[in-house]
Structure 1
Amino acid sequence: MKPPVTIEITARDGEARAGTLDTPHGSVETPTFMPVGTKGTVKGLSREELQDIGAGVVLGNTYHLYFRPGREVVREAGGLHGFTGWDGAMLTDSGGYQVFSLAKTRRISERGVEFASVYDGSVHEFTPELATSVQGDLGADIAMVLDECPPANAPHEYHRDSLRRTARWAERCKEAHAGGDQSLFGIVQGGLFPDLRKESLRLTTDLDFPGYAVGGLSVGESRAEMLEVLEQTAPLLPADKPRYFMGIGDPAGILQVIRLGVDMFDCVLPTRLARHGSVLTRDGRLNLRNARFRRDFSPLDAGCDCPTCAGYSRAYLAHLVREDELLGHRLVTYHNVRFVTRLCEEARGHIRAGDFGAWSETWISRYEGRG
């Protein structure tokens, strides 16, 4: 039986792939950046703005939505689509990232993960079955298995034991998954160790998920280490299924993972940077709090097609940011998210044209000030 979420690859340039991700809530052109809406909202942006930006898939977080507003509320609203009004594709993380980010207040066992709530300190156990069931209530098009994401510097033995437990959890998630209009993706772990990545990949692909994520990267390792692991891992993933890199959102990194065959990726970086007055441009990041922007009446990025660049100057936006005005945060957020979304649009075009490698190297050189 055909799963609810599938991908058709329509063009390749080296390992880079362009295609169409088909979901119950529409088709999404890939490679695609997925804005993160942890608590049911991409910070600062309405659903109408996300549509105008060209976002194809929006993320939600199972851990946070489980606590607030609660799975029952979301289920009664018709899932996240009904609750938020977003009618495009959605993906929910299982809470696996919180296993990493809340390491000081959680305890891992074979059963699952015991958390102290970030909201009131109460203790809750997330099992693979619970994480899968909650994601069923949330109703996103794509759900993720519960996994552990160990820190990059954890020893080989720890990563080995962790990936094997993650594989056992993945099997339990698959058994608990109700199916319907939701696809459940597996996650490959293994840290920076090639032998463990291969073992995790084998254990995970043996479960035959309709899509796969590469996890456990962007968690403290160097960019060179991250890319080396991905270069070894991505080509071994099933070629006819979606490939998802968890947690990358800087423009150079986006192009680098696309080059290695990734179809989907997410990160809070574009929205988080915006809240601190940091802007993504083709010539690198700008910090609007710097004095040099007080009388700079040019747009944030002359090549950008977003309304922020069309209607507001750096000087005005810098003023809003320095004064901590909400409008400033919203306008810069719109720009940053549109910037990475448009970058993916351009990448797709160059993959189809067959010159992605040369184009992306030139683009990265300019962005990093080497052009």
Structure 2
Amino acid sequence: MSERFTFTLLKSDGMARRGEITMPRGTIRTPAFMPVGTAGTVKAMYPGQVRELGADIILGNTYHLMLRPGAERVAKLGGLHTFANWPHPILTDSGGFQVMSLSQLRKMDERGVTFQSHIDGRRYELTPERSVEIQGLLDSDIQMQLDECVALPASESEIERAMQLSLRWAERSKAAFGDQPGKAIFGIVQGGDNERLRAQSATALREMDFKGYSIGGLAVGEPQDVMLRILAMTTPILPTEKPRYLMGVGTPDDILESVARGVDMFDCVMPTRAGRHGLAFTRFGKVNIKNARHAEDHRPLDEASDCPASRDYSRAYLHHLFKANETLGAMLLTWNNLAYYQSLMAGIRAAIDEARFEAFRISTKEGWARGDIAAL
């Protein structure tokens, strides 16, 4: 493990990249999928399980943790790694997206955003400096600048206003972060679905010399082809020698296609949220375990999987658990889904190492399309 934050690009296959981020708390193999631990927990999973599945890093949420239990309290209790029993790297987002999407009566200006908590109505102020302070109190390893993310579709003038504000907040966030050799703060590229604004944002952030770069404001209402078009023109502008993180994305197909366009890091609530609602991700495609056709199906989700949740429980039993509203059903499908996502990432990394990523991408998608007809 390194005492500094470093990114090493080990192999390229087309635009797909294989690399490693090293830092004091561990090494992150990229392309990486970061399970989302919004409030200090990856829902329905033990930390040890998450690690055993292959996760090198998890994500925590500044907005939720500042509201409950409070960043100062987490710091007093030893920081988020100790608090959540996760001694490995943690990335925290800035809280900006949740302020825009969850909070009540928010008011934004140049200084920052004031808002009412969706939990108890208390008023808070979140500025670039306060966001960095909170992330420091949580003691996360990779932090995000505060930005403004607008939902799409939106007018060009609204997208440009938010992008320019995010650039000014990027400068303030980076200044507040200062020099922390073993940690990193990432800038966030904004600009909606407008290529000119995306290029302007990426170029300005590159000149600020962040340790890594996030691509935000995608998967917020636009079709996948728009997201992929924006990625294809944005990633070449960003420095080759620094990691690229696509925020809040996504489906297994989104991940495959984004890796093909040069993305290194991903996070999404999809595998855990889907698991809690009865949807399983497998190499055969998606399985809705609530469907009546599974009621007497003795087969597991995937008998060849290394994950006990995928291999050792029948579809009939899983179907029963959801029909009976038993907590174990959500736990097992979440376990299955995260196992599938980490298996997918391991397959992607191996394929890039062996210069066969395009063949892997095609064969994986063909497997979903072909599917397990009796299961889907």
Q: Which bracket does the TM-score occupy, shorter chain normalised? A: over 0.9
Q: What is the identity percentage for the equivalent residue pairs of Structure 1 and Structure 2?
A: 45
Written as runs of structure 1 = structure 2, the 5 A alignment for 1:158-307 is: 158-180=158-180, 181-307=182-308
1: distance between equivalents of 2:105 and 2:337? 33
1: distance between equivalents of 2:28 and 2:348? 14
Would you say the 8 A contact 1:3–1:210 is kept in 2?
no
C-alpha deviation, 1:205, in angstroms: 1.3
C-alpha deviation, 1:103, in angstroms: 6.9
1:53 aligns with 2:53: yes
Match of 1:344 in 2: 345
Per the normalisation by structure 2, the TM-score is 0.95
Match of 1:71 in 2: 71
C-alpha deviation, 1:324, in angstroms: 1.3
Cα 1:311–1:281 shift into 2, 3 Å? same
1:81-140: CA deviation from partner (whole Å, max 9, x where unpaired) = 111110111000000211442376322211111111011112211011100100010111
Match of 2:309 in 1: 308
Cα 1:227–1:100 shift into 2, 3 Å? farther
2: distance between equivalents of 1:291 and 1:370? 18
Would you say the 8 A contact 1:33–1:341 is kept in 2?
yes
Match of 2:40 in 1: 40
How many residues get paired?
370
Stretches of structure 1 that go unaligned for 5 or more consecutive residues are none
1: distance between equivalents of 2:235 and 2:99? 24
What residue identity is the alignment partner of 1:81?
Answer: H
2: distance between equivalents of 1:126 and 1:3? 30
1:24 aligns with 2:19: no
RMSD: 1.6
Match of 2:156 in 1: 156
Would you say the 8 A contact 1:79–1:138 is kept in 2?
yes
Secondary structure of the residue aligned to 2:68 is helix
1:330 aligns with 2:323: no
Would you say the 8 A contact 1:139–1:182 is kept in 2?
no
Secondary structure of the residue aligned to 1:73 is helix
2: distance between equivalents of 1:108 and 1:247? 23
2: distance between equivalents of 1:107 and 1:286? 42
Would you say the 8 A contact 2:47–2:86 is kept in 1?
yes
Secondary structure of the residue aligned to 1:105 is strand
C-alpha deviation, 1:256, in angstroms: 0.7
Would you say the 8 A contact 1:100–1:151 is kept in 2?
no
What residue identity is the alignment partner of 2:218?
Answer: L
C-alpha deviation, 1:330, in angstroms: 0.6
What residue identity is the alignment partner of 1:9?
Answer: L
Match of 1:93 in 2: 93
Match of 2:137 in 1: 137
What residue identity is the alignment partner of 2:295?
Answer: R
Match of 2:123 in 1: 123
